[in-house]
Structure 1
Amino acid sequence: MAYYRKLGSIPKTRHTLMKQENGAIAYEELMGEEGFSSDSSLLYHRHIPSSLVGARIWDLPDQSLTPNAPLIPRHLKLHELFSDEEVVTVDAVTGRRLILGNGDVRLSYAVVGVTSPLYRNGVGDECVYVEAGEAVVETVFGALPVSKGDYVIIPRATTHRWVIPEGGQARLYFIEASSHIGPARQYLSKRGQLMEHAPYCERDLRGPEGTLLVDEQDVDVYIKHRGNGPNGLAGTIHTVPEHPFDVIGWDGCLYPYVFNINDYMPITGKVHQPPPVHQVFEGHNFVICNFVPRKVDYHPQAVAVPYYHSNVDSDEIMFYVDGDYEARKGSGINKGSISIHPGGHAHGPQPGAIEGSLGAEYFDELAVMVDTFRPLDLGAAALATDDGKYASSWTRGRWINE
C-alpha cells in the first residue's frame, strides 16, 4: 500500500538511536515486503521484538481439501455452519472454517462471539470482509474499529487480534492469500496512487488512528506459517515475555487498513459491463470484486443481467451478502450463500432472469466475488453446506445421475 502514514513518536532520521521517555532504548523493526525491495514500515518498540520464552505446536483448524469432482457448480449455505450455541465460544482465529482453497488463496468463514487470541499470519496477507456485526481489530500498528461492510486488509506477519464487544458477535469472511493483497493494478498509477477513474480513492481508506500499548507478560501469539501440514501450512504458538502491543511510533507505507464496500463507486455503461470493472483488490493468481447496488445499463434493449460466460482461466466464487441477486433468482441462492462456478463450465443467469431484467433501471444486490486462476478444492465447510441441487437449477431440477 504505497501511501505514507506516520503515528506516534519516531526519530528524525531512520536507523538512528531513539530513546523512550524513561531513557531506555526504543528498538527499531523494519517490516517489509519482498525482502528489502518493496513497501515497508519502521516500527519502534519498547521491548526487543524477537524475544521468546516458549514455543509449542498449534494444531490448525481443519485444512483438508477435496477436489471438486465430478466438476459441477455448487451452492453453499454458510449461515448453516454455526449454531447460536456455538457462537458464544467461537473466535476469529481458531474458529474459522475452511470453505475453499488452493496454493494461492484460502476462503474461510466464522461467526464469532468472543475475542480471539493474538495472531500472526506468516503465509500471506488477509482480506477479511465483515458481513455483519462489529469488532475492533487491535494490531501492533494501532486499533481499527470495523463494522458491517468493511474490508480489513491485514499485511503478512502483522500481530493482531479480533476484539468482540461483550454480548456481541460478527460474521466474518476470510480471504487468506499466499501473497500480498492490494488495490487493483488497473486503477493505480505507476507510482501507486489510485487514479481518477478508480472506483475509490485514498480518502476512503481508514488506517489506525493511534498507537496501542498493553503491559502484560508471557503472552501467547498464534502463528500460521509455511510447513509440511495440509496445504503446506503449519501452526506454532510463541510465548513472548512482553505484550507485542508495545509500539510507540511507526511510519511507512505498509500497515493494516479498512475500506467499506458502501464507499465503492460502481462503474456502469450503456450495455452490461464485464466483471473487471467491479474489481477492488488483487493477490497473486486471484482477484477480489464487489457487486454493489447500482443503476444498470441504459441501452433501450439492454439485457441487464450477465450474459452466459465460460470461466476459461478462473474459478468464480460469489458470496451473496445482501439484496436479491438478479441473475440467481429461482436458484435457491439467498443471503449468506456462496456459488461456485468452476473453470471449464459455462454459467450465467437462471431461466427467466433475462426476461425479468428487461427494462430494469436499478439492481439492489451486494456480493463479494473471488476469481482464482488455479482451481479451488472444497474444504470441510463446503462439504457440510452444499445444497446438492444447484447444478440442476438451469434445467429446473432435472438430473440424470440420481
Structure 2
Amino acid sequence: MVFYYKQGELPKKRHTVFTKDGKLVREEVFGINGFSGRYSLLYHLNPPTRIVRLEEWKDNSIQEWKSSGYRHHKLSTSKLRESNDAFLDRITLLFNEDTFISYVKTSEGESKVFYRNADFDEIYYVHEGEILFKSLFGEINVSQGDYLVVPRGSTYTFVFKKYSELLVVEGKQVELPKNYRNEYGQLVEGSFYYNRDIRLPTLRTYDEKGNYRLVIKTSNGFQFVELDTHPFDVVGWDGYLYPFALSVYDLEPITGKLHQPPTMYTTFTASNFVVCTFVPRLFDYHPQAVPISYYHNNVDADEMIFYSSGQFMSRRGISKGDITLHRGGHIHGPQPGAVELSLNKRGTYNDEVAVMVETQKRLKVSLYAKEIDDPSYPLSWYNY
C-alpha cells in the first residue's frame, strides 16, 4: 500500500521499551526489499519467532503440459474439482517464474491452518462467495466482486461463510499503479479508484495458547510448523505494508468517444505483469465508433482473461468462470459477427466484469489446465 495507516496500541517511539499489563511487548519490522522498501511495525504479545516443532515439508511442483503447443486456450473452471484448502490445494492453471494463476472452489467452513506465502504477494478475486479474511493485521470481510491483496510474508487464514470460488494471482511487487499517485501517494483525480474505496483490516488481538499449525509457502513447496501461541497476538501496528480489499463495483471506468485500450483499466501493477479489470461502463459514443475491442497482436505479452459476470460482447461460446489465454504473436480480437452486432450498442451500457492478467513473459500451461481445455478454441474465429 502507498499510504500510512495505524491501528491498536503503539509506543510513542519505535524501537523503544513497550509494556502491556507489565509484560514486554515484542516489536517486529515487517518489510519487503530489505530495509529500504515498504514496511510496517507490528507489536506482539509473544516473540513471533517462537516455533514449538518443525513438521513436514510438502513438495508443490507444478507439472507443465509440455505438448500443448503454442496457441490460444479456453479453460472452463466449471469442470474443476473442489479444492480441499484454498492455500494448500489451489489448482494452478497458468504459470511462469514471476506469476502463478490458480483457481479455488471451496465449501463453507473455517480453515484449520494459518498461512504465510514467503515468496509472492497474492491477489484473490472473489468470483463467488462470502469470506472473512483473518490476519495478524486484522479482519476484512470480502464477497463477490472483491479483490483481496495480501503482501508476501503476511500470516492469515480464512472463514468461508458459504461456498466460494476464487481466482488467485501470485507475483511480486504488487502495487497501485504509479500513474494514479501523486508524489505523496494520494490517488489523483481521474484515477480508476480513490483511497476511500480501499478497505483496510480491523485489528483483533488473540491472547491465546494452544497448538496452532502454520504453513509457509515457497515457490517449491510448503513447510509446516507448530506454534504454541496464537499468531494473531498483535496489539498494534503502523506503516505502509498491509492487506487490503477493493471492490470491482467501486472502480470508475474512463470511457470515451472511441474504444479505450485495456491500460485504462489497470488495477494493479507487479513485476512483469499487470492486472486490469473490465467493469460495467458506457459503450463508446462517437457516431461511427466500433464499441468493441479491435484486433490486436501484443507480440511481447500473453493475455489471460477471467470472465466473471455480465455479457461478454466480443466473444461467443464463453461462460461465466471461463478463462482464455491469448498468446503474443497470435492475433486475437472479436469473433465473427461481433463487430457488426456491436454497432447498435453505441452509447449504451455494458455490464461485463472480467479480470485480465497481462504478462511480459510467456505463461506455461499446467496439466490441470489440460483437463479443462477446449482444443477447438483457436479455430473459434473461423468456425462461428
Residues 13 and 264 of structure 1, relative CA distance in 2, 3 Å threshold? same
**3-state SS of paired residue (1:280):** strand
Contact 2:45-2:207 within 8 A present in 1 as well: no
Q: What count of residue pairs does the alignment treat as equivalent?
A: 380
Distance in 2 of aligned mates of 1:42 and 1:302: 52
TM-score between the two structures when normalised by the length of structure 1:
0.92
Q: Would you say 1:2 and 2:2 are equivalent positions?
A: yes
Which secondary structure does the structure 1 equivalent of 2:263 belong to?
Answer: helix
SS state of the match for residue 92, structure 1? coil
Unaligned runs of 5+ in 2: none
How far off its partner does 1:191 sit?
3.3
Equivalent of 1:192 in 185, 199, 216: 185
Distance 2:178 2:344 in 1: 34
Once the 2 structures are TM-superposed, how far is the Cα of residue 95 of structure 1 from its aligned partner?
2.2
Letter in 2 for 1:12: K
How far residue 144 of structure 1 moved from its aligned partner, in angstroms, is 0.9
Q: Which residue of 1 aligns with 2:250?
A: 263
Instruction: For residue 59 of structure 1, give the secondary structure of its aligned residue in structure 2.
Output: strand
**Deviations 1:346-386, CA, capped at 9 Å, x for gaps:** 10000000000002122121100000000000123311110
The residue identity in structure 2 corresponding to 1:75 is: K
Q: 2 CA distance for matches of 1:159 and 1:214? A: 16
> Structure 1 counterpart of 2:156, which letter?
H
What residue in structure 2 maps to residue 59 of structure 1?
58
Cα RMSD (Å): 1.4
1:310-368 C-alpha deviation (Å, 9 max, x unpaired): 02111000000001100002xx2110100110111110000000000002122121100
Structure 2 CA distance for partners of 1:68 and 1:160, relative to 1, 3 Å: farther
Could you tell me the TM-score, scaled by structure 2's length? 0.96
Match of 2:85 in 1: 91
The aligned residue for residue 400 of structure 1 is none
SS of alignment partner, residue 152 of structure 2: coil
In the alignment, structure 1 residue 112 sits paired with structure 2 residue 97: no
- Classify 1:163/1:132 alpha carbon distance in 2 versus 1 (closer, same or farther; 3 Å): same
CA distance in 1, matches of 2:250, 2:326: 27
Q: Which runs of 5+ in 1 are unaligned?
A: 227-232, 398-402
Conserved 8 A contact 2:60-2:222 = no
CA distance 1:327–1:68, shift in 2 (3 Å): farther
Q: How many angstroms apart in 2 are the aligned matches of 1:25 and 1:140?
A: 18
- More deviation in 380-389 or 103-112? 380-389
Output aligned runs, 1:182-221, within 5 Å. 182-221=175-214
1:38 matched to 2:37:
yes
Question: Which residue in the other structure is 2:12 paired with?
Answer: 12
CA drift at 1:69: 4.0
CA contact (8 A) 1:324 1:334 kept: no
User: In structure 1, what is the Cα distance between the partners aligned to 2:59 and 2:146?
Assistant: 26
- Which of residues 335, 351, 354 in structure 2 aligns to 1:350? 335
Distance 1:214 1:174, change over 3 A: farther
**What is the CA deviation profile of residues 29-62 of structure 1, one whole-angstrom value per residue up to 9, with x for unaligned ones?**
0001111112111000000001111113332555
Corresponding residue SS for 2:47? coil
**2:141 aligned with 1:142:** no
CA contact (8 A) 1:75 1:337 kept: yes
Give per-residue Cα distances to partners, 1:231-261, cap 9 Å, x unaligned.
Answer: xx22201112211110011111111000000
